[in-house]
Amino acid sequence: MEVNSVESLPSDGPVWAIVLAAGSGRRYGVHPKQYELLGGERVLDRALGTCRAAADHVIVVLAPGDEAIGEQLVADGAADAFVIGGVERSDSVRCALANVDEEAAVIVVHDAARPLASAALHEAVVAAVHAGAEAAIPAIAVIDTIKRVEVDSDGTPVVAATLDRRELVAVQTPQAFRAEVLHRAHAHATDATDDAALVEANGGRVVIVAGEVTNIKITGPEDLAVAAVLLASLG
């Protein structure tokens, strides 16, 4: 498919959401973070619940061995289907993409590790694609000063450069894509930490929408504690 043809394709058809929960959570520790409790509900269930409200169809991607959890989620109506993911995050996305109906117009990819993303944020990225964007991702300003570091000849990490923070943003999920744009980005791809990077590598135009500072990613155990405080403050 030619890149130029993208603008002419309709994007107001069904919205499919892919919720990624097939990671092993190495940085989190012993318990799989997607099944930790946050405000009395599993992290994954929170992420799924928000996707459910914003999308017409939801596919959840789980790790090998979590099939019984997937069957229960489908039985409960929390997801329409589950698939078993792959080794890297992008592999897991591709496992789900293979099960997305060709009628899908917009595909949203969301990390289960971001359980506090709001319904409004899901709606905002989908609305941007409906309005004509090939891809729309949430981002927030970078608060810290960011430096590039090199290891010098005696093994000491030293600053190589200070980056201009005004040019930088920190990117989140949910990320929304015209379906054919996401399929094409993954067609020959290997791995990237987000799907937008694959679209960028393919020459795609990725639009930024305002992210949420409360939409943190649970990476280490301290993040779950922060998320619990944020959840309480969000009411």
User: Which parts of this chain interact with ligand CTP (CB under 6 A)?
Assistant: 20-28, 34, 61, 85-89, 91-92, 111-113, 217, 219
**Would you say 59 or 128 has its CB closer to ligand CTP?**
59
**Would you say 72 or 193 has its CB closer to Mg ion?**
193
- Minimum CB separation of residue 111 from ligand CTP in Å reads 4
DSSP conformation letters of the chain: --GGGGGGS---S-EEEEEEE----TTT-SS-GGGSEETTEEHHHHHHHHHHHH-SEEEEEE-TT-HHHHHHHHHTTS-SEEEE--SSHHHHHHHHHTTS-TT--EEEEEETT-TT--HHHHHHHHHHHHTT-SEEEEEEE--S--EEEEE-TTS-EEEEEE--GGG-EEE-S-EEEEHHHHHHHHHT----SSHHHHHHHTT--EEEEE--TT-----SHHHHHHHHHHHHHH-
- Minimum CB separation of residue 223 from ligand CTP in Å reads 10
Q: Which stretch binds Mg ion (CB under 5 A): 21-29, 47-55, 99-107, 194-202?
A: 21-29
Q: Which stretch binds Mg ion (CB under 5 A): 23-31, 37-45, 55-63, 98-106?
A: 23-31
Residue 185, binding choice from Mg ion, ligand CTP, none, Cβ under 5 to 8 Å by partner class: none
**Would you say 131 or 213 has its CB closer to ligand CTP?**
213
